Structure 1
Amino acid sequence: MGNLMSATRRGSSASKSKGPEAVCLSQSDIKALPKEGYNDRDHGRVSWKTLFSSDRTPTSALTAGIATAPPRREGQPTSFGGHLALHRHAHAEIYFVIKGEGIVNVEMMEHRVQAGSVVFIPGNASHAVRNESLTEELVWHYCFAADSFKDIKYRFAND
């Protein structure tokens, strides 16, 4: 039995609806999603998969995904490890840490996080994420009160 996302990909009547619908993504659906990300000094070393965004799914009002920052290698400075560089955007955001340990910096205050931690980031607050581990990925769920990921305008400190 397929879920709505699988049915949507097959071109069923579920994909022809005009309004938002319930969407349930299976592990295989999530695995099949394209990986996006940054791999540079100004933006960070981080990847993400967008789970819900109105330009990709029949959803509205919320945009959500899963981000991953890889561990750094032995002998590398912390800035070379997985991180999302200091940035801001108008939309408030929530992080829920799924796996690993790291630092979430919000308005120059560092918060140590681990699996099970949740962080609320006010709109326009400067924030960054850094994986502190040498062995484990830092994985977190993010969510914005926005219809689409395209509505989120990232402004990086280094741009």
Structure 2
Amino acid sequence: MGNLLSSSKERKAKTKQGAGLQAVCLSAGDIKELQCIGYSDREHGKVRWKTLISSDKTPSKDLTAGIATLPPRKENQPTSAGGNMAPHRHRQAEVYIVVSGEAIINVDMLEYPVSAGSVVFIPGGAERAVRNTSLTEEFVWYFCLAADKIGDVRFLYKNDGIGVASQPRVMG
């Protein structure tokens, strides 16, 4: 059974050796209760997310993870309208794991069609954008960044101007 520890005492001892770090396990109920933030404007797109793992919220280090959602696009709108995350960049490398839906992920002007089960690696500094291609289904993906906490990530959106870092807002 892999590296499972046989007793609670051993698990506690192993945790103490991790310099304050511990395994983090969030239930579906925990995730449901987390604050949702995002954008809903032309400059940044229509996207919302919840930060799941971040050193300012969990006993973790070196990685930040979350789950993001784009709503479906509206009929009679161009493919770029509706649920999208506008072109942006940050210095951290990132991985997307698609949970559900279909989208186009653009990395440095190359388009990658993705659907449930797809995995995308995005190098640090690369420009990235995501657009939902469905008229009926949300696009949902997990993201993981090489950063201690989400606050360490400086999101530079193409539409904000050179060197301007955007701050998302709390979504209902």
TM-score (structure 1 length as normaliser): 0.87
Q: Give how far 1:130 is off.
A: 0.4
**Corresponding residue of 1:105:** 106
State the aligned residue count.
Answer: 143
**Corresponding residue of 2:68:** 67
Q: Give how far 1:78 is off.
A: 2.2
Identity %: 61
Moved more, 149-158 or 72-81: 72-81
Moved over 6 A (4+): none
Q: Give how far 1:77 is off.
A: 2.1
| 1:80 aligned counterpart, secondary structure | coil
Q: Which amino acid aligns with 2:34?
A: L
| 2:31 aligned counterpart, secondary structure | helix
Gaps of 5+ in 1: 1-17
Q: Distance in 2 between matches of 1:78 and 1:101?
A: 12
Deviations 1:47-93 (A, max 9, x none): 00100001111111110000000001111222321011000000000
Q: Which amino acid aligns with 1:123?
A: G
Do structure 1's residue 117 and structure 2's residue 132 form an aligned pair?
Answer: no
| 1:56 aligned counterpart, secondary structure | coil
Q: Distance in 2 between matches of 1:125 and 1:145?
A: 14
1:34-73 to structure 2, matched below 5 A, reads: 34-73=35-74
**Corresponding residue of 2:131:** 130
Q: Which amino acid aligns with 1:86?
A: P
Gaps of 5+ in 2: 1-18, 161-172
Q: Which amino acid aligns with 1:25?
A: L
Q: Give how far 1:19 is off.
A: 1.9
Q: Which amino acid aligns with 1:51?
A: L
**Corresponding residue of 1:8:** none
| 1:146 aligned counterpart, secondary structure | coil
**Corresponding residue of 2:80:** 79
